[in-house]
């Protein structure tokens, strides 16, 4: 059994990508199941096979602990790791080839607290991979692109499993896409675009950080995908199978 953890910032398209991956694998004769790990989500674009909301009730937490919406969401997210046994049992009963795990909306509550990394490292599967979804519409300026690449590195550091960057909402950024991909391939191109944004005075440290990103081989081109048209899905599934079936590291 292979596990795909779909991570990314709020609204970047994690849940819709989960729905699309399910459809994709179903239509390619692979049996996938979905796990929703977001205790605070109200509506999902797919019908989860295993749902953390059956184990953690965000609204009861609010009442029982007299918490506001934010406090309740933090506690609900922190409780995810305590449910790993039950979630694992339910997944095991379904015995799928692939398990696609949709992670909580607010990535900081999952990846930057102990619950998310604990869940990922202790969840049993043969190979694990993380997708980091970057909202394409938020990556159209060079500085936001770089910030997202740094965030991606930070998530990789926290989760410590092979990771693929996925640029979502490709359908909304068709004209800008070649330039975004150039930034990830060439530091000169990125530097030129950054220099054109005159209001951004780059400090030496940020220049050093950007150089390090390229030099360390961590400025990997994201795979651009549209969850609306499915454009790019074939590239994403190829990248996934390179890691999952051949054990390649991204
Ligand atoms: N146009 C377009 N909209 C998208 C795409 N992916 C997600 N969305 C929309 O972005 C919003 C947030 O998506 P969702 O999957 O719920 O994000 P999540 O918070 O990361 O789970 C929804 O309105 C989606 O319909 C995409 O590839 N293209
Ligand atoms: Mg979601």
For a mutational test of ligand 1's pocket, the pick from 13, 22, 140, i.e. the residue with the most ligand atoms closer than 8 A to its C-beta, is 13
Distance between start and end Cα atoms, the chain? 19
Going from the Cα of 140 to the center of ligand 1, the distance in angstroms, rounded, reads 17
Output the pLDDT for position 198. Answer: 65
Going from the Cα of 141 to the center of ligand 2, the distance in angstroms, rounded, reads 24
Ligand closest to CA 41 = 2
Structure confidence at residue 3 as a pLDDT band (50, 70, 90): very high
Given the CA of residue 9, which atom of ligand 1 is nearest to it?
A: 20
Going from the Cα of 36 to the center of ligand 2, the distance in angstroms, rounded, reads 9
What are the pLDDT digits (tens) for 188-200? 999 888 888 765 6
For residue 139, pLDDT beyond 90: yes
Taking the CA atoms of residue 188, residue 192, residue 197 and residue 202 in that order, the dihedral angle to the nearest 10 degrees is: 50
Give me the architecture of the 2-172+223-246 domain, per CATH: 3-Layer(aba) Sandwich (3.40)
Going from the Cα of 12 to the center of ligand 1, the distance in angstroms, rounded, reads 6
> If residue 2 lies in a helix (H) or strand (E), which one and from where to where?
strand 2-8
> 169: closest CA among 9, 35, 34, 40?
9
Give DSSP secondary structure letters for 147-177: HHHHHHHHHHHHH-S-EEEEEE-GGG-TTTH
For a mutational test of ligand 1's pocket, the pick from 10, 12, 15, 16, i.e. the residue with the most ligand atoms closer than 8 A to its C-beta, is 16
Structural contact between residues 226 and 169, judged by C-beta atoms closer than 8 angstroms: yes
| Strand extents, DSSP E, 74-224 | 98-102, 127-135, 163-168, 223-224
Structural contact between residues 100 and 15, judged by C-beta atoms closer than 8 angstroms: no
Output the pLDDT for position 220. Answer: 85
For a mutational test of ligand 1's pocket, the pick from 24, 171, 177, 227, i.e. the residue with the most ligand atoms closer than 8 A to its C-beta, is 227
C-alpha distances (whole Å) from 53 to each of 77, 112, 147, 162 are 11, 21, 32, 27
Ligand 1 pocket, CB under 6 A = 8, 10-16, 105, 168-169, 171-172, 226-228
What are the pLDDT digits (tens) for 194-248? 888 765 666 666 778 888 989 988 888 899 999 999 999 999 999 999 999 876 5
The domain spans of the chain are 2-172+223-246
């Amino acid at each position: 059994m292979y596990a795909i953890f779909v991570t990314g910032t709020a609204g970047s398209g994690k849940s819709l990508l989960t729905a699309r991956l399910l459809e994709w694998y179903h239509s390619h004769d692979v049996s996938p199941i979905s796990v929703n790990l977001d205790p605070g989500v109200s509506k999902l674009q797919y019908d989860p096979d295993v749902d953390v909301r059956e184990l953690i009730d965000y609204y009861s937490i609010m009442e029982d602990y007299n918490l506001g919406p934010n406090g309740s969401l933090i506690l609900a997210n922190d409780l995810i790791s305590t449910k790993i046994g039950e979630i694992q049992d339910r997944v095991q009963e379904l015995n799928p080839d692939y398990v696609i795990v949709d992670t909580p909306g607010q990535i900081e509550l999952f990846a930057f607290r102990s619950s998310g990394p604990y869940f990922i490292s202790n969840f049993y599967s043969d190979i694990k991979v993380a997708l980091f979804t970057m909202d394409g519409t938020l990556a159209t300026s060079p500085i936001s692109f770089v910030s997202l690449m740094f965030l991606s590195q930070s998530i990789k550091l926290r989760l410590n499993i092979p990771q693929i960057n996925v640029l979502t909402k490709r359908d909304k950024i068709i004209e800008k896409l070649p330039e975004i991909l150039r930034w990830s391939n060439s530091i000169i191109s990125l530097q030129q675009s950054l220099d054109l944004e005159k209001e951004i005075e780059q400090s030496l440290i940020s220049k050093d950080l950007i150089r390090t990103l390229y030099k360390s081989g961590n400025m990997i081109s994201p795979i651009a995908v549209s969850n609306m048209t499915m454009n790019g899905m074939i590239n994403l599934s190829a990248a996934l199978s390179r890691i999952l079936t051949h054990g390649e590291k991204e």
